[in-house]
């Protein structure tokens, strides 16, 4: 790991912790050292997203130095108020042992995701290449608004939080490949920590929360290291519901709750719709137990919607409400099936395999799924307990599970059904935990020690769920649908050769700019000069092309198969022949039939 990459990790932690500390000053935080400080990181994520959107709206550059300055405000005020740094107790207590267990789960999870992501040098699938070009734009131009005449798939009007975080981190880390891979793995892994504290507050039991966290971390259908905005959505989900749970003790938590809801609305559109359904179920159930609390929670949801207009206000003004809805398919929701959606059978739930979907893996595993079915039976047998206030979390978790199952079953319609797996995962982890403690109570009455049952289930989960999840996340994933023919793969090998050059070496292509940026090289496809030069294509002399390339700092030019298809074989061959004959270009690399790299003299 290079120094700039290590520095970017420290910056990320400082940004999120600093923003979270500032939000924490508004409310009564937990007295527990670990919960208070870890959840400050969690609160910092939606704050990071909101502040980025606000700065861009105000025309202030999204510069890492500005974020550092803003992130320092909270810790400085906190130090002035408290005049001392709190330190955790190092005594060998049950709570500290549980915290060690949680940190172990987090560490294994981060290793699994990061090791898998870096087991090959290329960007996987198609989304990652597209996110790379958006992140590079934000890192360079320091704005979330696209320039006239150029569009990004994952920016403007697409909610920008994920790409914004990656773009700001890229300013320090320099490598877009490393930035997208590492910070995606880190953010997903942090969600495990946030889920633990959500579960702890729901269940009011550290041991149960740790077991639920273990199940979630081991569950194959809970996220992979796939590079997409949904990697940021799940930690946002957990932070939103954690913050909402705190409203019962301190109504000021409505502010962090609203900010967390806004963070979700600023991250990904289809999953925000799913969150709205989960939030509605949560509020209705809480209202049934405590009307005043339910009203406060509804207020937090409304606040989140209003705060999200820091982005959606300008988007509606620029594109119109119908334009924004149409861009995400929300004007015809029932038609949004999703590329990976299919009909799921019982074997998809019960049998986890080492070969799986890479964007959202499917499956739970036979031991965990069996436990889930027993747990649902336990919920039915505990109906009277659910009527009591302390049983509300069971009702909430079961409602979430039912919603996720209906979504996977495409009822009432298939709205990106495959993405319900990650929701099914955290709801199942909560319900399974209730069932596990129910089974242990029965076991004790039959003379079976609880720890024996617990160890058997943990071993079974590791063998039938986690091993398979680890295999999927450490397999070599392909680079995407761009590469299908023999010539395409020859081109791919050629592009991989560019990884040996220094990061941000300027390389021009008449083809797909996302590939150049996705191998850590630099060009400016959104700049008018590059757009006009590329539009001229091969309808210019080699000498005039050379003059433009030199004036704009490009030392290398790439030719590949796709460019032949775009500009025509005869035109391309004629231009290449003129290039070589002009003496302005020297071929420095060739592979396959069409891939060539030329050095600009």
Tokens of 554: 């490009």
Q: Residue 503's CB: how many other CB atoms inside 10 A?
A: 17
Tell me how far apart the alpha carbons of residues 390 and 339 are, in angstroms, rounded to a whole number: 41
Tell me how far apart the alpha carbons of residues 184 and 442 are, in angstroms, rounded to a whole number: 42
160, 260: one domain: yes
492, 584: one domain: yes
268 in any annotated domain: yes
Answer yes or no: is pLDDT of 103 > 90. yes
Domain termination site, one of 473, 505, 523:
473
Number of domains in the chain: 2
Answer yes or no: is pLDDT of 22 > 90. yes
* pLDDT, mean of residues 254-281: 95
Cβ-based neighbours of 561, under 8 Å, separated by 6 or more:
485, 487, 488, 490, 491, 592, 593, 594, 595
- State the angle between helix axes of 254-265 and 269-289 in degrees (0 to 180), rounded to the nearest 10: 150
More confident: 413 or 309: 309
Assign 329 a pLDDT band (cuts: 50, 70, 90): low
Tell me how far apart the alpha carbons of residues 42 and 236 are, in angstroms, rounded to a whole number: 8
Residue 584: strand, helix, or coil: coil
Tell me how far apart the alpha carbons of residues 160 and 158 are, in angstroms, rounded to a whole number: 6
Bridge partners for 585 per DSSP: 600
How many angstroms from the chain centroid is the CA of residue 16? 15
322, 451: one domain: yes
- Burial (Cβ within 10 Å: 0-12, 13-18, ≥19) of residue 95: middle
Contact 110, 181 (CB under 8 A): no
More confident: 72 or 542: 72
| Of the candidates 22, 261, 78, the residue with the CA atom closest to the CA atom of residue 159 | 261
Assign 406 a pLDDT band (cuts: 50, 70, 90): very high
Answer yes or no: is pLDDT of 354 > 90. no
Bridge partners for 508 per DSSP: 557
Bridge partners for 432 per DSSP: none
* Long-range CB pairs of 99-106, under 8 A, 24+ apart, other chains included: 99/34, 101/210, 102/193, 102/196, 102/210, 102/213, 105/192, 105/210, 105/213, 105/214, 105/217, 106/189, 106/190, 106/192, 106/193
Q: Residue 354's CB: how many other CB atoms inside 10 A?
A: 14
Number of helices and strands (H, E) in the chain? 27, 4
516, 458: one domain: no
141, 26: one domain: yes
Domain termination site, one of 473, 499, 525:
473
148, 261: one domain: yes
499, 460: one domain: no
Answer yes or no: is pLDDT of 333 > 70. no
263, 347: one domain: yes
Assign 538 a pLDDT band (cuts: 50, 70, 90): confident
479 in any annotated domain: no
Mean pLDDT of the chain: 92
Domain termination site, one of 413, 440, 473:
473
Express each pLDDT in 437-493 by its tens digit.
Answer: 999 999 999 999 999 999 999 999 999 999 999 999 999 999 988 888 898 999 999
| Of the candidates 564, 592, 562, 566, the residue with the CA atom closest to the CA atom of residue 576 | 564
How many angstroms from the chain centroid is the CA of residue 254? 24
Contact 414, 337 (CB under 8 A): yes
The domain containing residue 125 runs over which residues?
A: 3-84+93-473
495, 555: one domain: yes
Tell me how far apart the alpha carbons of residues 263 and 275 are, in angstroms, rounded to a whole number: 12
Supply angle C-alpha 152, 154, 158, rounded to 5.
Answer: 105
CA atoms within 13 A on the CB side of 220: 33
Kind plus residue range of the DSSP H or E element containing 480 = none
443, 582: one domain: no
Tell me how far apart the alpha carbons of residues 279 and 273 are, in angstroms, rounded to a whole number: 10
- pLDDT at position 332, please? 58
Answer yes or no: is pLDDT of 337 > 70. no
Tell me how far apart the alpha carbons of residues 267 and 236 are, in angstroms, rounded to a whole number: 9
481 in any annotated domain: no
Express each pLDDT in 212-245 by its tens digit.
Answer: 999 999 999 999 999 999 999 999 999 999 999 9
Assign 114 a pLDDT band (cuts: 50, 70, 90): very high
Tell me how far apart the alpha carbons of residues 476 and 122 are, in angstroms, rounded to a whole number: 10
478 in any annotated domain: no
- pLDDT at position 511, please? 86
- Sheet of strand 585-591: strand arrangement: 507-509, 556-559, 595-600, 585-591
Bridge partners for 599 per DSSP: 556, 586
- State the angle between helix axes of 94-117 and 176-203 in degrees (0 to 180), rounded to the nearest 10: 150
Express each pLDDT in 83-101 by its tens digit.
Answer: 777 777 778 888 899 999 9
This model's pTM is above 0.85: yes
518, 415: one domain: no
Q: What pairing do the DSSP bridges indicate for beta strands 556-559 and 507-509?
A: parallel
453, 515: one domain: no
Q: What is the DSSP string of 344-378?
A: --HHHHH---SS--SSS-----HHHHHHHHHHHHH
18 in any annotated domain: yes
232 in any annotated domain: yes
447 in any annotated domain: yes
- pLDDT at position 145, please? 94
151 in any annotated domain: yes
């Amino acid at each position: 790991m290079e120094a700039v990459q290590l520095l970017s990790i420290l910056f990320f932690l400082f940004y999120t912790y600093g923003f979270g500390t500032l939000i924490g000053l508004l409310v009564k935080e937990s007295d527990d050292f670990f919960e208070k400080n870890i959840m400050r990181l969690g609160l910092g994520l939606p704050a990071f997203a909101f502040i980025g959107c606000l700065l861009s709206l105000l025309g202030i550059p999204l510069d890492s130095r500005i974020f550092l300055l803003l992130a320092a405000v909270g810790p400085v005020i906190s130090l002035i108020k408290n005049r001392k740094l709190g330190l955790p107790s190092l005594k060998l207590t049950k709570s500290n042992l549980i915290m060690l267990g949680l940190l172990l789960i987090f560490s294994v999870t981060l290793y699994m995701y990061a090791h898998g992501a870096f087991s090959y040098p290329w960007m996987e699938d198609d989304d990652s290449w597209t996110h790379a070009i958006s992140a590079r734009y934000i890192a360079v131009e320091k704005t979330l608004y696209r320039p006239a005449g150029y569009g990004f798939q994952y920016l403007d009007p697409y909610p920008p939080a994920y790409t914004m975080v990656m773009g700001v981190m890229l300013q320090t880390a320099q490598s877009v490949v490393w930035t997208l891979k590492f910070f995606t793995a880190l953010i997903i892994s942090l969600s495990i920590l946030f889920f633990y504290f959500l579960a702890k507050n729901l269940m009011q039991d550290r041991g149960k929360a740790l077991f639920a966290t273990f199940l979630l971390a081991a569950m194959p259908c809970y996220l992979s290291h796939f590079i997409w905005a949904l990697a940021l959505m799940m930690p946002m989900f957990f932070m939103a519901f954690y913050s909402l749970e705190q409203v019962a003790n301190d109504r000021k938590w409505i502010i962090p709750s609203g900010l967390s809801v806004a963070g979700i609305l600023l991250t990904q559109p289809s999953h925000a719709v799913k969150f709205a359904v989960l939030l509605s179920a949560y509020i209705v159930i809480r209202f049934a137990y405590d009307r005043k609390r339910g009203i406060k929670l509804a207020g937090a949801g409304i606040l989140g919607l209003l705060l999200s207009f820091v982005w959606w206000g300008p988007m509606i003004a620029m594109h119109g409400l119908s334009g924004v809805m149409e861009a995400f398919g929300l004007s015809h929701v029932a038609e949004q099936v999703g590329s990976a959606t299919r009909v799921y059978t019982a074997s998809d739930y019960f049998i986890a395999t080492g070969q799986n979907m890479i964007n959202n893996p499917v499956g739970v595993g036979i031991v965990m799924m069996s436990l889930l079915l027993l747990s649902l039976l336990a919920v039915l047998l505990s109906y009277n307990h659910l009527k009591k206030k302390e049983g509300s979390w069971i009702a909430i978790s079961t409602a979430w599970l039912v919603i996720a199952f209906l979504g996977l079953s495409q009822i009432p319609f298939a709205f990106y059904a495959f993405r319900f797996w990650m929701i099914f995962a955290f709801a199942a982890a909560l319900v399974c935990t209730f069932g596990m403690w129910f089974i242990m109570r029965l076991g004790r009455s039959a003379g079976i020690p609880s720890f024996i049952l617990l160890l058997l289930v943990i071993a079974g989960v590791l063998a039938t769920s986690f091993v398979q999840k680890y295999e999927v996340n450490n397999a070599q994933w392909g680079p995407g649908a761009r590469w299908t023919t023999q010539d395409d793969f020859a081109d791919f090998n050629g592009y991989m050769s560019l990884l040996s050059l220094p990061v941000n070496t300027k390389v021009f292509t008449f083809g797909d700019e996302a590939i150049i940026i996705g191998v850590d090289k630099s060009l400016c496809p959104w700049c008018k000069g590059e757009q006009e030069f590329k539009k001229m294509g091969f309808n210019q002399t080699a000498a005039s092309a050379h003059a433009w390339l030199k004036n704009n700092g490009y030392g290398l030019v790439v030719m590949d198969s796709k460019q032949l298809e775009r500009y025509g074989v005869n035109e391309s061959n004629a231009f290449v022949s003129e290039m070589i004959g002009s003496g302005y270009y020297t071929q420095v690399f060739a592979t396959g039939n069409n891939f060539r790299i030329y050095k600009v003299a």
